[in-house]
Structure 1
Amino acid sequence: MRLFLLPISTRRTLIYCEKLHEKPVKERSIFDRVTIKANETWAAWEKDEKAPLQWKRKVTFYGNQALKRIPYEEWGLKTIPALTAKRKAAILEGREKYQVMFPGMYLHQDKVPGILKQLATERLGMHKRNLIWSVVGMPFTAPFMLIPVIPNLPFFYLVYRAYSHWKALQGSQHLEFLLENNLPTPNPAWELDEVYTAGLMYPTRQISRAAPRPSKQQAEDVAKVVEQQTNNGTEDVMVLQRWNGKLIAEQFKLPDMEVEIERAVEQVENSIKAKEELMEEKLELERATAEPGKTAKDALPKEMFQPHEKEVEKQIHEKAEDVAKQKQEG
């Protein structure tokens, strides 16, 4: 099984697990069947134009907006399958092989274990709590069942969030178990370095497709520029473009990966932009409130400094007297 560690910026990384082959219908669990049915229903609602006031299309539109707000870390963990007893035994017996692929020039190999550990453990408690609260909230949505025609949307939303947290929790526990057993094996992939470099060198997907493949020297040069932009690690710098997700997905023949990358890039971009805007607002406020030729000390009440200034004057006067006395004695 292949895991992908995809740095979105120099500080944030998406984990993605390669999907296993589709199970035959007879081997699918109840959860699998319900999930497939829900996805089919959702897709049908997106195209339904016959519902009164087009309520189905409106529900899917606002629902998709809500889904975009779910953290990309949660989506990534959900791609990791549950740790079944059969899979656990295969791992312990050495029959199940795992490798983690990452762009070695944009993510140093010595950081991989720490990132995997962080992804596996930092959200465990949160997913457990939110799973419980989602289940607890379900009975309180009963009054919405009285609304005619429209289904109990709050109830189904809580069901989905409970399922989502459960899936992410299962993924976290699976990843944690792998790390406890010294898996997966780190595997720096030049294919990823190549696509990352192309995404940083070229402005669009079309130009990237038409341009020559980046050389290793070009990749090293671009990686050095990114490292310099971080200002010794103090700044968070984007290393993945939204349009580049499709190229990575095509490179590894994993079409579902494209959506995960685009969602993660959008969330990280918005987060960095929000921090930059907040910093700019603070600087503007500082410039607006500052008077020419004045320092922060000048803006404070003078009485705060009067005792100190008197003490300094006293010390200077005493020092001058000592110097004069020494000269007289000399």
Structure 2
Amino acid sequence: MNRAWMGLEKAPEGSLKNKIHGLGLKLLARVKPSEIFLKSISKEVTDVEITYPSSLNPRLVRRRLRHIAMRGAASHKGYFYGSVSLLPLTSAFTVLPLPNIPFFWVLFRTYSHWRALQGSEKLLQLVSDCPHAENLDIPNMKESESEIETGDSKHEVHKTRGSKWVLQPSKELEELLHNGDENDGLSKCAISKICKTFNLNKIDIIKFKHTM
């Protein structure tokens, strides 16, 4: 599949293969940012650090992350089995003289949903490693609080003993969100500053905003 994609990418400008490659790029651009995020969580990941606006309740942040993981596992499992069922059907197009784009696309989506499913399950495992943490008031836990210095700012880090997740409130993120707030959400300027400060992909963030 990768060799076929590279062949399409190197095709002469204006050729059929080049147009097919352009169509593939448009299809890839429609992949949800949440799927890209879940695919990035490999089995080698051993812990997770969540940076969030300081005005939010850390328990709410962790519950939201668990919701993303549970919803991702349920949806991508269904999409995975659906894509697998389409593989035999699309493989019949190999008799045509053109590249079997439907088969390669379904194969890619099958692999992508499988990776997202694995990432969802791994994320759920990481944020659910302490079953009693939901009943604890994290900011008041003396044994789980520590302070770290980051530049000129001070961040308070909440981590339950023995857990694999770290909740890190950020006053800087809170200020960027507050200053960039508009009637229709965050301004593009604020999004650019946030992405630059926290090393995020601006295109994915804007795509995620449009899905809200």
Give TM-score, length-normalised by structure 2. 0.68
Which residue is 2:89 aligned to?
Answer: 140
Q: List runs of 5+ in structure 2 lacking aligned partners.
A: 131-163
Deviation at 1:99, TM superposition (A): 3.8
Q: Which has the higher contact order (CA 8 A, sep 6+)?
A: 2
Q: Secondary structure at the match of 1:81?
A: coil
Which residue is 2:168 aligned to?
Answer: 187
Instruction: Give yes or no for the alignment of 1:63 onto 2:63.
Output: no
Instruction: Give yes or no for the alignment of 1:114 onto 2:63.
Output: yes
Show the 5 A alignment for 1:1-330: 38=2, 42=5, 45-49=8-12, 54-82=15-43, 96=46, 98-105=47-54, 108-148=57-97, 150-182=98-130, 183-189=164-170, 193=172, 219=175, 223=178, 226=181, 237-238=185-186, 243-244=192-193, 247-248=196-197, 252=199, 257-258=200-201, 261-269=202-210, 271=211
Cα deviation, 1:35-66, whole Å, max 9, x if unaligned, reads xxx2x76355334317xx51222122111111
In terms of fraction of residues, the more strand-rich structure is: 2
Q: Percent identity?
A: 24
Deviation at 1:153, TM superposition (A): 1.0
Q: List runs of 5+ in structure 1 lacking aligned partners.
A: 1-33, 88-95, 198-218, 231-235, 273-330
Work out the number of aligned pairs and report it: 178
Q: List 4+ stretches of structure 1 deviating above 6 A.
A: none
User: Partner amino acid for 1:61?
Assistant: G
Q: CA–CA distance in 1 between the matches of 2:23 and 2:208?
A: 17
Deviation at 1:243, TM superposition (A): 4.0
CA RMSD, Structure 1 to Structure 2 (Å) = 3.2
Is the radius of gyration larger for structure 1 or structure 2? 1
User: Partner amino acid for 2:204?
Assistant: R
Assess, with a 3 A threshold, how the Cα gap between structure 1 residues 246 and 185 changes in structure 2: closer, same or farther. Answer: closer
Give TM-score, length-normalised by structure 1. 0.46
Q: Is the 8 A contact 1:124 1:172 kept in 2?
A: yes
Cα deviation, 1:68-114, whole Å, max 9, x if unaligned, reads 2222111110000036xxx7xxxxxxxx4x24132424755342211
Q: Is the 8 A contact 1:68 1:263 kept in 2?
A: no
